[in-house]
């Protein structure tokens, strides 16, 4: 090939003026026409071609008049392309015995070059464009029908054809070299469209093996392509990467030219391109990774591994497969493995934990423990199998490995699925053995071990071994504050499980209450709160374990702490103490707890670790003691401090337990309302009471704080609402409160009031779905209400169908009451 000579000529051409270029075209065309006329073979065919060629010089003579506006890059390139085509035509015509198809090709190629000139000179006069256009058509339409092969002897014919073919090959080679020069020029200086055409042409030359490494190096083609890759639009980037892949396949030396950080960084940017560009870029990088330098450098290119992981997880199966292979190749470098883990691809890290050296395992475990994990990353690590090798490291390796393994396991133990894997691995016994160990070198391991136990304890599977809780309990007094806090968390998780009754019972029998109370005097707030919460749960099942000294400690916490959660748990402990213990009741009264209870319910719990339901249950439970119907003095004391509005508020709690306790307290207060209203009437001294103060149920002057009147407290509407709701376990307490409005003396007034409050339908609903005790109370209330004929007429038919259904499907203990009620409704028929 004559590439180097042509490149020198090209540089000289770049320095010519436009007029010189036009002059050269005119001279070359004249020479071409002359050669055509002097052809010794097929004179008619070449004469016809010469006649057309002679029209070119006059047209281009006129072009000189537009020298200033014509010398633009696009026009110059078109004109220079025509010049090259004329030179090629001269070479072809010099070959003797040209075949007809070759001469036609000369004419058509010249016509195409004139077409490029026509397209580029849009700003030139219409007359010039018309002449060029006509000449373009004339050349493109030229055809020769006669066979131009000589008719002399066969030997002469074959010899001439052989010489002709050799010359054609030389000319074709020259044409390729010209095309190569054009490609290099357009790649360097062309716009996007020209670059695209050049890259496509380069791709064809590579496929046909018409370029060599020498030219690629001399022209810096790979550097040019990489520079263009960084600045081109998407479609061009795709073609450039495809060409680079062709170069890699056909020229192994090309790999080395792309192995530096700069080229790699450019290629990595294409990983963020569209689907096809990403696919080609991953494929190219995978092919380059045959080189050690690429494997060493690629992982350090910013964003490379992150984007490879994203492609791995994408929908493009080809790109995903190549990304997986590339990541596997890069995973030989531990730093790359860490980058992959940070990007959410953990398989290489787990592989290092399983098969790596001791130092590699420690490195991976340490890195894992320091990562900020999402729920998804914890799940992925568990699914990839990270738990088992980490447990094995803790079981068998030396101190440094044990510590890194425990720290990593601690970071993964926040996910329930991983907790189950930890339990299955048998680590619980190992952790407890470590906590009981007195070996000084293992002391640093105890804190993460206790933290993992706290997480593991959230699983129900831990209940399968009742001794675990007892062992943790025995460790409390032997541990540091940090470990004590973790152990208390673990114990609280265990005992809070509804199925842990047997565990709680064993803990109480083992002296847990006596062991825990000293922790309530701790300065460490977390330990104090944890111990208080644990006592609250344990004492639910064993309130008799509380002694007077314990009560004093609890009361001190309630009155002195600023921590809402501590107050709630302390109040909860007291709420479980049997009401029959009068001495404790007196202690609580003297402590003036009611205002504190009200403040607990009025304070915000947003920043507290206790729920509103728990605080409501604790407060409502303790108020049952302060509303004891047999201690009217205590009732008055409580009412004066505002307990009744609080109880009405608790009726709207989200907790059925709190609702039930509040209804019970209101029922206890209401039991004394009638007698209190009578006693106040007898004390009138100055005139009758105001009309507004007269209660429509009790018929006398009523007040919330003095007579505990449910009507004046607006307690009945929320009670009816509870009966209409779904929480049937609250029904009995609410119905007990309603019965206090139906005592014999006030039965009619109470019945009318309940009907007025739309209570009939709610009570009938209880008959259809409530508990038998609640149904018994509902029947008692209906019997009283239906003593009034107006109520029988209005609701009798509806009640009859419910009662008949209940008599057939309900508890047998209710049948006699139902029968009496049906008789009252005068709808009962003996069968």
> Phi, psi at residue 515, to the nearest 5°?
-70, -35
Residue 609: per-residue pLDDT: 59
Tokens of residue 371, six digits: 């990562």
- The DSSP element (H or E) to which 216 belongs, if any, is helix 213-219
Q: What is the DSSP string of 697-750?
A: TT-SB--HHHH--TTTTT-HHHHHHHHHSS-GGGHHHHHHHHHTT--GGGHHHH
Please report how the helices 126-140 and 43-53 are oriented relative to each other, as an axis angle in degrees rounded to 10.
Answer: 170
Residue 156: per-residue pLDDT: 36
> Phi, psi at residue 741, to the nearest 5°?
-90, 0
Q: Rounded distance, CA 820 to CA 577, Å?
A: 41
Residue 151: per-residue pLDDT: 37
User: What letter does residue 149 receive in the DSSP assignment?
Assistant: S
Cα angle value 564/569/575 (rounded, 5°): 125
Q: Rounded distance, CA 741 to CA 161, Å?
A: 127
Kindly give, in sequence order, each residue whose CB lies less than 8 Å from that of residue 453, ignoring residues fewer than 6 positions away: 428, 431, 432, 435, 472, 486, 487, 490
* Spatial CA neighbour of 519 closest among 468, 575, 564, 479: 479
Give the 3-state secondary structure of residue 301. Answer: coil
Residue 127: per-residue pLDDT: 66
Residue 581: per-residue pLDDT: 87
- Whether 503 contacts 495, CB under 8 Å: yes
* Spatial CA neighbour of 412 closest among 363, 356, 470, 452: 452
- Whether 561 contacts 568, CB under 8 Å: no
Give the 3-state secondary structure of residue 694. Answer: strand
Q: Rounded distance, CA 730 to CA 816, Å?
A: 25
Residue 123: per-residue pLDDT: 53
User: What letter does residue 16 receive in the DSSP assignment?
Assistant: S
Q: Rounded distance, CA 647 to CA 626, Å?
A: 12
Dihedral angle computed from the Cα positions of residues 40, 46, 52 and 55, in that order, rounded to the nearest 10 degrees = -10
> Phi, psi at residue 59, to the nearest 5°?
-65, -45
Q: Rounded distance, CA 707 to CA 702, Å?
A: 6
Q: Rounded distance, CA 307 to CA 282, Å?
A: 10
Residue identified by tokens 């409530």 is 770
* Spatial CA neighbour of 497 closest among 527, 465, 534, 459: 459
Q: Rounded distance, CA 63 to CA 127, Å?
A: 11
The distance from CA 22 to its chain's CA centroid, rounded to whole angstroms, is 67
Q: What is the DSSP string of 220-269?
A: THHHHHHHHHHHS-HHHHHHHHHHHHHHHHH-THHHHHT-SHHHHHHHHH
Tokens of residue 50, six digits: 């010469």
**Which residues does the chain have with pLDDT short of 50?**
1-7, 96-97, 147-178, 606, 684-685, 828-831
Tokens of residue 336, six digits: 């790359």
- Whether 564 contacts 538, CB under 8 Å: no
Tokens of residue 248, six digits: 């890699």
pTM: 0.68
* Spatial CA neighbour of 287 closest among 309, 316, 258: 258
């Amino acid at each position: 090939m004559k590439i180097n000579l042509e490149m020198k000529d090209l540089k000289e051409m770049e320095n010519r003026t436009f007029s010189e270029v036009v002059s050269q075209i005119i001279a070359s065309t004249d020479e071409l026409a002359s050669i055509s006329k002097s052809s010794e073979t097929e004179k008619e065919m070449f004469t016809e071609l010469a006649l057309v060629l002679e029209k070119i010089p006059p047209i281009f003579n006129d072009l000189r008049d537009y020298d200033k506006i014509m010398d633009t890059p696009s026009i110059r390139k078109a004109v220079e392309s025509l010049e090259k085509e004329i030179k090629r035509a001269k070479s072809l015509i010099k070959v003797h015995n040209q075949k007809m198809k070759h001469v036609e090709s000369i004419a058509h190629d010249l016509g195409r070059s004139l077409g490029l000139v026509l397209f580029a000179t849009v700003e030139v006069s219409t007359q010039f464009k018309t002449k060029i256009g006509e000449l373009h058509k004339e050349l493109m339409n030229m055809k020769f029908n006669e066979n131009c092969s000589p008719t002399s002897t066969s030997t002469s014919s074959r010899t001439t054809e052989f010489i002709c073919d050799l010359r054609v090959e030389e000319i074709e080679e020259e044409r390729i070299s010209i095309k190569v020069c054009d490609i290099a020029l357009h790649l360097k200086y062309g716009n996007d469209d020209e670059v695209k055409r050049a890259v496509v042409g380069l791709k064809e030359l590579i496929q046909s093996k018409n370029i060599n490494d020498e030219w690629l190096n001399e022209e810096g083609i790979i550097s040019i392509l990489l520079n263009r890759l960084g600045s081109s639009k998407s479609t061009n980037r795709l073609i450039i990467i495809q060409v680079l892949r062709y170069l890699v396949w056909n020229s192994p030396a090309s790999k080395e030219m792309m192995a530096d950080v700069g080229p790699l960084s450019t290629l990595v940017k294409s990983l963020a391109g569209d689907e096809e560009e990403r696919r080609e870029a991953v494929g190219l990088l995978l092919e380059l990774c045959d080189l050690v330098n690429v494997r060493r450098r690629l992982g350090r290119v910013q964003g490379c591994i992150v984007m490879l992981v994203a492609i791995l997880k994408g929908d493009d199966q080809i790109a995903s497969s190549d990304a997986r292979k590339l990541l596997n190749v890069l995973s030989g470098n531990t730093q790359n493995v860490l980058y992959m883990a940070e990007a959410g691809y953990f398989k290489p890290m787990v592989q290092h934990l399983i098969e790596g050296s001791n130092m590699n395992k420690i490195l991976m475990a340490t890195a894992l423990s320091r990562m900020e994990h999402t729920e998804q990353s914890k799940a992925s690590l568990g699914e990839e199998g990270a738990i088992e090798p980490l447990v094995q490291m803790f079981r068998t390796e030396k101190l440094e490995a044990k510590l890194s393994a425990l720290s990593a396991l601690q970071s993964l133990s926040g996910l329930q699925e991983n907790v189950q894997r930890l339990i299955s691995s048998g680590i619980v016994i190992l952790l407890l053995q470590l906590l009981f160990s007195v070996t000084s070198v293992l002391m640093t391991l105890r804190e993460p071990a206790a933290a993992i136990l706290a997480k593991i304890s959230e699983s129900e599977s831990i209940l399968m071994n009742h001794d675990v809780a007892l062992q943790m309990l025995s460790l409390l007094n032997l541990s540091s504050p940090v470990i004590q806090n973790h152990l208390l968390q673990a114990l609280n998780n265990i005992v809070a499980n509804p199925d842990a009754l047997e565990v709680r019972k064993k803990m109480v029998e083992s002296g847990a209450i006596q062991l825990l109370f000293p922790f309530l005097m701790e300065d460490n707030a977390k330990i104090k709160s944890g111990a208080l919460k644990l006592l609250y749960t344990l004492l639910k099942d064993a309130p008799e374990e509380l002694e007077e000294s314990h009560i004093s400690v609890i009361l001190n916490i309630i009155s002195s702490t600023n921590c809402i959660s501590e107050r709630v748990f302390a109040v909860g402990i007291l709420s479980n103490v049997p009401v029959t213990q009068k001495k404790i009741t007196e202690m609580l009264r003297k402590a003036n707890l009611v205002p504190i209870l009200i403040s607990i319910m009025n304070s915000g719990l947003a920043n507290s670790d206790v729920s509103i339901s728990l605080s409501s249950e604790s407060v409502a439970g303790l108020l049952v003691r302060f509303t004891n119907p047999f201690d009217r003095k205590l009732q008055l004391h409580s009412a004066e401090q505002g307990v009744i509005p609080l109880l009405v508020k608790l009726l709207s709690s989200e907790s059925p337990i709190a609702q039930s306790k509040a209804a019970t307290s209101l029922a206890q207060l209401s039991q004394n309302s009638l007698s209190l209203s009578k006693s106040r009437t007898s004390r009138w001294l100055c005139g009758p009471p105001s009309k507004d103060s007269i209660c429509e149920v009790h018929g006398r002057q009523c007040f919330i704080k003095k007579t505990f009147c449910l009507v004046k407290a607006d307690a009945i509407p929320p009670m009816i609402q509870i009966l209409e709701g779904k929480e049937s376990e609250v029904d009995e307490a609410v119905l007990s409160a309603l019965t206090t409005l139906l005592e014999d003396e006030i039965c009619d007034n109470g019945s009318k009031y309940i009907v007025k409050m739309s209570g009939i339908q709610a009570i009938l609903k209880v008959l259809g779905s409530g508990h038998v005790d609640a149904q018994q109370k509902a029947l008692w209330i209906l019997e009283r209400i239906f003593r009034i004929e107006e109520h029988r007429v209005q609701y009798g038919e509806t009640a009859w169908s419910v009662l008949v259904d209940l008599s057939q499907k309900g508890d047998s203990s209710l049948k006699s009451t139902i029968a009496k009620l049906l008789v009252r409704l005068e709808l009962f028929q003996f069968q």
